[in-house]
């Protein structure tokens, strides 16, 4: 009798534990930057990702994040991505931030392994037409292409009265793409780019050689199209050694660290551009939730985009479950647009339980994200407004949002 009771108890234990494990763990990797030239941005974008994962768990979907550091460098980033795919067995990767990391990771890791990759911050126009992704549909982003930001940056420079400019840019797909689009936009409006000067991705102790080339013909403005760890060095050198104080910034140099390194008075009143979060109810909901969890939302880019990237992967995973499909990367990919694009009932940040109930009933949903409408086009791209921002009073403020981007 004791033998039968023992066997029965084992069976009951198996039933209980197997029953609780029926809710599949949705493994998502994040490939962000905690070291290297973009290290200022990684921790806060990770917070945005963690907030989405926590909200999913509260709604009944077990999302687990595996976080890796890309080091803002292609080789470490690729190795970290391999770990996420091969060891952690993630179903999707959110990252990286630098286009110079996102592209090689896609080419050598995520696309060959059939894993969805969504970058919250890589804006290179090359991502839209990456040959390795043709017919695979595995590479997405929740930020827009610099084909948009570059247009507004060129337009802004002319609005500020600058007739000439030089561009100092990080030598990777991001910097090259932004610099080229800026030049096209600026010169279309009557400006003249005097020099386009690249610098290495790895942060250096000095950029005087590059600055000499950029300053040679005495431009009216210097475009700082780099990352915080680069910009805080060469902006300070330009001020101290070249007595130059007119800069135009971008998303990569929208930086609290630059204010600290250069001094608030030296950047006071200067402008920049960045892919913006469309302001509205969805954004306000996110800000409230983020503030409760982590404190005040910093004035740094792409935190909302990281949140949205995890959100659409999680919603697509649940859509698979609701349809009786295996939750794997292929099925997540095939359901991304179904949960993110219209038509469907609007789902705002944190409304995941509502989304699950609708999906369980076979109804369509349309996720409206913290960064705006996450409507993926055929290339996996989205369109958001471009923000014109300003360094003011030791802080970073929004001046305006450009919703109507000129076609160029």
Express each pLDDT in 173-209 by its tens digit.
999 999 999 999 999 999 999 999 999 999 999 999 9
Place of tokens 């890796």: 68
On whether the CB atoms of residues 254 and 232 are closer than 8 A, the answer is no
For the cut 50, the answer to whether the pLDDT of residue 1 exceeds it is: no
pTM above 0.85, yes or no: yes
For the cut 60, the answer to whether the pLDDT of residue 259 exceeds it is: yes
For the cut 90, the answer to whether the pLDDT of residue 6 exceeds it is: no
Which pLDDT value is given to residue 278?
Answer: 87
Just give the CATH number of 146-274+387-402. Answer: 3.40.50.2300
Which pLDDT value is given to residue 173?
Answer: 96
Which pLDDT value is given to residue 36?
Answer: 97
For the cut 50, the answer to whether the pLDDT of residue 2 exceeds it is: no
Which pLDDT value is given to residue 279?
Answer: 87
Which pLDDT value is given to residue 23?
Answer: 60
Cβ-count burial 4-21 (b if 16+ within 10 Å, e if not): eeeeeeeeeeeeeeeeee
pLDDT in tens, 51-91: 999 999 999 999 999 999 999 999 999 999 999 999 999 99
Which pLDDT value is given to residue 37?
Answer: 97
Dihedral, CA atoms, 280, 283, 285, 286, nearest 10 degrees? 180
Give domain 24-145+280-367's CATH superfamily. Response regulator (3.40.50.2300)
For the cut 90, the answer to whether the pLDDT of residue 8 exceeds it is: no
Higher pLDDT, 147 or 35: 35
Per the prediction, the chain carries an average pLDDT of 94
pLDDT in tens, 142-172: 999 999 999 999 999 999 999 999 999 999 9
Higher pLDDT, 276 or 217: 217
Mean pLDDT of 113-124: 98
Which pLDDT value is given to residue 404?
Answer: 80
Domain ranges within the chain, ordered by starting residue: 24-145+280-367, 146-274+387-402
Determine what percent of the chain is predicted with pLDDT higher than 90. 91
Higher pLDDT, 84 or 11: 84
- Residue 192, classified by CB atoms within 10 Å of its CB into exposed (0-12), middle (13-18) or buried (19+), is middle
Q: Find all residues with CB under 8 Å of 109, minimum gap 6, and list them.
A: 78, 81, 82, 85, 115
Kindly report which listed range (16-25, 163-172, 210-219) carries the lowest average pLDDT score.
16-25
């Amino acid at each position: 009798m004791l033998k039968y009771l023992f066997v029965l108890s084992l069976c009951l234990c198996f039933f209980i534990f197997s029953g609780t494990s029926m809710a599949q763990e949705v493994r998502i990797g994040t490939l962000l930057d905690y070291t290297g030239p973009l290290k200022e941005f990684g921790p806060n974008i990770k917070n945005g990702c963690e907030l989405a994962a926590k909200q999913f768990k509260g709604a009944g979907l077990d999302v687990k994040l595996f976080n890796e550091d890309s080091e803002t460098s292609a080789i470490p980033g690729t190795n970290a991505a391999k770990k996420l795919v091969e060891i952690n067995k993630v179903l999707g990767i959110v990252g990286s931030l630098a286009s110079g990391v996102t592209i090689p990771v896609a080419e050598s890791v995520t696309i060959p392994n059939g894993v969805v990759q969504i970058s919250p911050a890589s804006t290179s126009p090359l991502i839209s037409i990456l040959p390795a992704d043709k017919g695979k549909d595995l590479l997405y982003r929740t930020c827009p292409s610099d084909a948009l930001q570059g247009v507004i940056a060129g337009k802004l420079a002319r609005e500020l009265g600058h007739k000439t400019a030089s561009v100092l840019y990080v030598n990777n797909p991001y910097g090259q793409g932004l610099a080229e689009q800026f030049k096209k936009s600026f010169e279309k409006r009557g400006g003249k780019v005097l020099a386009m000067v690249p610098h290495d991705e790895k942060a250096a102790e000095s950029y005087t050689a590059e600055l000499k080339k950029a300053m040679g013909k005495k431009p009216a403005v210097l475009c700082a199209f780099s990352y915080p760890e680069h910009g805080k060095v060469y902006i300070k050198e330009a001020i101290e050694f070249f007595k130059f104080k007119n800069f135009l910034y971008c998303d990569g140099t929208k930086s609290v660290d630059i204010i600290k390194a250069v001094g608030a008075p030296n950047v006071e009143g200067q402008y920049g551009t960045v892919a913006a979060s469309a302001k509205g109810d969805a954004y306000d909901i996110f800000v409230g939730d983020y503030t409760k969890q982590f404190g005040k939302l910093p004035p740094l880019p792409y935190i909302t985009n990281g949140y949205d990237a995890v959100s659409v992967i999680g919603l697509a995973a649940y859509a698979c479950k609701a349809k009786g499909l295996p939750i794997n990367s292929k099925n997540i990919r095939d359901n991304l647009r179904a949960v993110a694009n219209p038509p469907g009932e609007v789902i705002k940040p944190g409304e995941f339980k509502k989304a699950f109930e609708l999906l369980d009933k076979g109804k369509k949903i349309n996720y409206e994200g913290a960064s705006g409408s996450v409507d993926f086009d055929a290339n996996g791209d989205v369109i958001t407004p471009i923000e014109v921002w300003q360094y003011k009073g030791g802080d970073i403020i929004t001046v305006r949002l450009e919703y109507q981007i000129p076609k160029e």
